[in-house]
Amino acid sequence: MPSRWKNTATCAALMVAAVLPIGVSSTAQAAPEQCPGMYVVAVPGTWETSKSDPGQGMLAAVSDNLPGDVRTDYVAYTATAFPWEGEVYGRSKREALDNARGLVSAMAQRCGATRFALVGYSQGADAAGDLAAEIGTGLGVVSPNRVELVGLISDPRRSPTDNLIGPPVVGAGAGGPRLGGFGWLGAKTYTFCAAGDLYCAIPDGDFAGRIAGFFAQISNPDPSQLGSYQQQANNLIADALAAGGLGLLSDQLNNSAYEERKQQIDDFLKSGIHQSYPQYSIGPDGATPLTWLRRQLIDAARN
């Protein structure tokens, strides 16, 4: 992500545990004049794009200039994380999700034979993953059988049961799992997470961090999702009680723990782990999440 990470590191730590920002950006674009064989909707990460200055970010290496009958659109959205940047995380992510859904819907209605692929990084993976979950559970704007592939890099809602490509990684996404999973798209959805990336691999016992991630997710609540929010909160509380109860939470939220967390977050932001995916090796052949996903998209376009 851009150098603004360094400028906001201390502020992030001061937000109880670190409302781990994740990004997306891009505005819905008009439907194409012609119908491609495959349509790729890519959602960049936080600060990689904006409504006034659309960008492609890290995902350009995945989905830009794909060969064959393929069209790629990059979702432009606010792509911010903190209130002082103009939008809270929840509203920024909702904008990314709505814009991505709009692109898919417009293409699906215009082009009945076009197949789809969704890719996202960081906050963009958060939004792309939610859209994939909608489609995969039968609640989306297109049938699941028209989706060829979903690729999520550093997904803040990564579940330990998701289809992880690369070395095993303990922990889960800071925002908590999607309760219904990916449904019919489960086998076509691939997630990538580097060990130590607190967006997608927050430690299991870090309940203060999980609470911060949950509140980031609901910072712009959707009234239609209140039941889901309640269930997620209940699950989080149950996990905390099972692990040590209110005493554990007190230990993680006291002044001493706060200072320790502040240093942890600062170290994480300076480490560059969250930006390491162009070099992060996921197999003996030297593939990275970016090269692996690009290869899969090319193969899907040929079939």
pLDDT at 4: 40
What is the spatial distance between Cα 8 and Cα 229, in angstroms, rounded to a whole number? 28
> Which residues in the chain land under pLDDT 50?
1-32, 84, 252
- Per-residue confidence (pLDDT) for residue 205, from 0 to 100: 65
pLDDT, one tens digit per residue, over 246-298 is: 555 555 455 555 566 666 677 777 889 999 999 999 998 999 999 999 999 99
Looking at residue 154, its pLDDT comes to 97
Count of structural domains within the chain: 1
Res 83: pLDDT:
53
Query: d(Cα 202, Cα 172) in Å, to the nearest integer?
Result: 5
CATH number at residue 113: 3.40.50.1820
Range of the domain at 78: 4-302
Whole-structure pTM over 0.85, yes or no? Answer: no
What value, to the nearest 5°, has the Cα angle with vertex 163 and ends 162 and 169?
75
